[in-house]
Amino acid sequence: MSNQSSNQMWGGRFASGPDAIMEAINASIGFDQRLAPQDIAGSRAHAAMLAATGIVECSDAEQMRKGLLTILSEIEAGNFEFSAALEDIHMNVESRLTDIIGPVAGRLHTARSRNDQVATDFRLWVRDQCDAVEAGLTALMRALLGQAEAGADWVMPGFTHLQTAQPVTWGHHMMAYVEMFARDRSRFQDARARMNECPLGAAALAGTGFAIDRDMTAHALGFDRPMANSLDAVSDRDFALEFLGASSICAMHLSRLAEELVIWSSAQFRFVMLSDRFSTGSSIMPQKKNPDAAELIRAKIGRIVGANIALLTVMKGLPLAYSKDMQEDKEQVFDAADTLMLALAAMEGMVRDMTANRPALAAAAASGFSTATDLADWLVRELGLPFREAHHVTGSLVARAEALECDLPDLSLAEMQAVHGQITTAVYSVLGVENSVASRRSYGGTAPDQVRRQVARWKDLLV
Ligand code: ARG
């Protein structure tokens, strides 16, 4: 834009303004305008502290406070003209403050730098996102709990290697995701607690000669304490990386659930019906109902992990303290946070609305010799066979059933006894899927009463 006159905020030693390309690569206002509320909150805290410590006149600070509030309402109303010539949100706000209150605005930047300013603003923004993600995760956990409670005793096949393994309950499968998302929630809570220290007052890198009160600004902004090392305060972006790391793991969990929904909603599985509100049609194939939201959630992890790696790569090898490289932090985190929030909301809606196909789940649970382990366990318990031998006997029975194209419970007693003479009719009781799941009562097991215990525990924890 302006390459005749030098920058009004820092152009004292410059004879001319920047080249247009320089301005284009340098300006961050196109994206960091999202930090406006945090920037204004930080400036208000700083102004109040400058007045309380006698560094600026109280009447000046009062003008700053009013002017900053005016700017906030202008931005909120969409009446603020952001200027690329003013580079970033910090200088856009300060320049507008000068328009409104005159040269006294120039006192606001006493004892601070854009380096501690941006570190503070960004921490505040990421801190808010941790809270938003936590709320999104809680809503998703509630939707999963609703499914688990309704289907605590609905049998379905449990898989390993995506091959039928042992019967489990629908509720148990849903609760597995509750546990995963609960760990995600605690990762965001941990990150939030660790990031809750205030960089403001670190100034450019070395602290300041003014007698500032860093506890005052830290507490005004809801931080637990000021950061203890000024070099670290302006050069640290661990908080953003922790947010991206927690987001990456959470996105990985979402992609696993999304993948299951894609598989389960297929005509081959028919385990779930997605609601019309969370599926789409095909423009050519009239019969189709596609799980697009699940597919997109499955894919979104790419952007989030990409952001994580991008920021790690930006930060790698940067010497202390601030370097302009660090301006590349924001777009990655903004995009990852927006993406994660959208994916969480879409998953919550899909899970809340979906209908499990209980008969299809039950039919699938009973196929694929899913109770073979129960049979082997019965041979151990009732006939005293060593487990390895029981495994072998059961394998022979499975082979026999396969040859006869039937399931294990369809084998006659004579067929069974041909493989092991001591087998009795009592064996049939363990070949039923309902009995199989009901027997798995060990803590954390799939038995419906265990699932109900976990549902009750989580319902208490989520109130
Ligand atoms: N827009 C900059 C950023 O996001 C603000 C800090 C600029 N500091 C500086 N010394 N140029 O990183």
DSSP 6: P
pLDDT at 4: 55
Mutate to test the pocket of ligand 1, among 86, 118, 120, 323 (most ligand atoms within 8 A of CB): 118
pLDDT of residue 226: 98
Please report the atom of ligand 1 found closest to the CA of residue 322. 10
Helices 36-52 and 58-76: crossing angle, nearest 10°?
Answer: 170
Residue 368 pLDDT exceeds 90 = no
Question: 85: CA distance to ligand 1 center in Å?
Answer: 14
User: Residues of the chain with pLDDT > 90: what percent?
Assistant: 92
Closest residue to atom 12 of ligand 1, CA basis: 327
More confident of the two residues 283 and 207: 207
Question: What residue ranges line ligand 1, CB within 6 angstroms?
Answer: 28, 32, 88, 114-115, 118, 322, 324, 326-327
- pLDDT band with cut points at 50, 70 and 90 for residue 1: very low
d(CA 420, CA 400): 12
Q: Which residue from 88, 116, 328, 329 has its CB within 8 A of the most atoms of ligand 1, so it is best to mutate?
A: 88
Q: How far is the CA of 26 from the centre of ligand 1 (A)?
A: 9
CA nearest ligand 1 atom 1, residue: 88
- Please state the rounded mean pLDDT for residues 268-287: 89
CA of 114 to the centre of ligand 1 (A): 6
| Residue of 9, 113, 114, 237 best suited for mutating to test ligand 1, as the one with most atoms within 8 Å of CB | 114
- Residue of the CA atom closest to atom 2 of ligand 1: 327
Question: Span 140-160, mean pLDDT?
Answer: 98
CA distance 317 to 315: 6
**Does residue 132 surpass a pLDDT of 50?**
yes
What are the tens digits of pLDDT across the range 182-193? 999 999 999 999
Rounded mean pLDDT of the chain? 96
Cα 462–chain centre separation:
17
Ligand 1 atom closest to Cα of residue 204: 10
Please report how many Cα atoms fall inside a 13 Å half-sphere around the Cα of residue 305, on the Cβ side: 12
**CA nearest to 210, candidates 112, 118, 115, 113:** 112
Stretch 353-358: mean pLDDT: 97
pLDDT of residue 199: 98
> What one-character-per-residue DSSP string does 402-438 give?
HHHT--GGGS-HHHHHHH-TT--GGGHHHHSHHHHHH
Structure tokens at 175: 């609760």
- Condensed to tens digits (0 to 9), the pLDDT of residues 57-96 reads 999 999 999 999 999 999 999 999 999 999 999 999 999 9
Which residues are annotated as catalytic?
Answer: 161, 282
Packing angle of the helix pair 89-101, 36-52 (nearest 10 deg): 60
The ligand 1 atom at the shortest distance from the C-alpha of residue 88 is 1
**Structure letter (DSSP) for residue 162:** T
Which residues on adjacent β-strands are paired with residue 169?
Answer: 155
Which of the four pLDDT bands, split at 50, 70 and 90, describes residue 379? very high
Q: Output the pLDDT for position 3.
A: 43
